[in-house]
């Protein structure tokens, strides 16, 4: 004898379109939450410009000018100029008690 064909099982609730739309909504809300949490990493805020009367910036500008003059006169070479700039930053921070970004890269 032949057996009757097996009855089809009813589809799972997870296979319905509504469940898939809910899954998409959950994935999008998770991505939105991550983007919100890491918004400063994705879109860094603008750096504030230093004040014109900042004594630290004035000290650094003076030291950089002195170092550039010594380099132009041939007293020091490029490696010594980089070293002097790094030391000038530490000197100016010590003299003014402030924190400054490193000197601009060349």
DSSP letter for each residue of 1-62: -PPPPPPPPPPPGGGSHHHHHHHHHHHHHHHHHHHHHTHHHHSPPPPPPPPTT-HHHHHHHH
Measured in whole angstroms, how far is the alpha carbon of residue 95 from the centre of its chain?
A: 30
For 93, other C-beta atoms within 10 Å of its C-beta total 15
**Distance separating alpha carbons of residues 15 and 59, to the nearest angstrom:** 69
| Cα 62 versus chain centre, distance | 30
Q: Which pLDDT band holds residue 99 (cuts at 50, 70, 90)?
A: low
Q: Token digits for 4?
A: 């009757």
Question: pLDDT tens digits, residue range 19-78?
Answer: 999 999 999 999 999 999 999 988 888 876 666 678 888 888 999 999 999 999 999 999
How much is the pLDDT for 45? 83
- Across the range 11-23, mean pLDDT stands at 88
**Domain range annotation of the chain:** 16-40, 55-96
- DSSP category for residue 52: T
Whole-model pTM: value is 0.44
């Amino acid at each position: 004898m032949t057996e009757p064909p097996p009855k089809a099982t009813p589809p799972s609730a997870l296979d319905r379109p509504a469940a898939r739309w809910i899954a998409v909504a959950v994935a999008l809300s998770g991505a939105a939450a991550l983007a919100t949490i890491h918004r400063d990493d994705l879109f860094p805020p603008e750096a504030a410009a230093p004040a014109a009367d900042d004594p630290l910036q004035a000290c650094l500008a003076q030291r950089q000018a002195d170092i550039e003059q010594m380099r132009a006169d041939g007293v020091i070479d490029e490696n010594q100029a980089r070293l002097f700039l790094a030391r000038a930053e530490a000197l100016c921070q010590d003299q003014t008690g402030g924190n400054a970004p490193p000197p601009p890269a060349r």
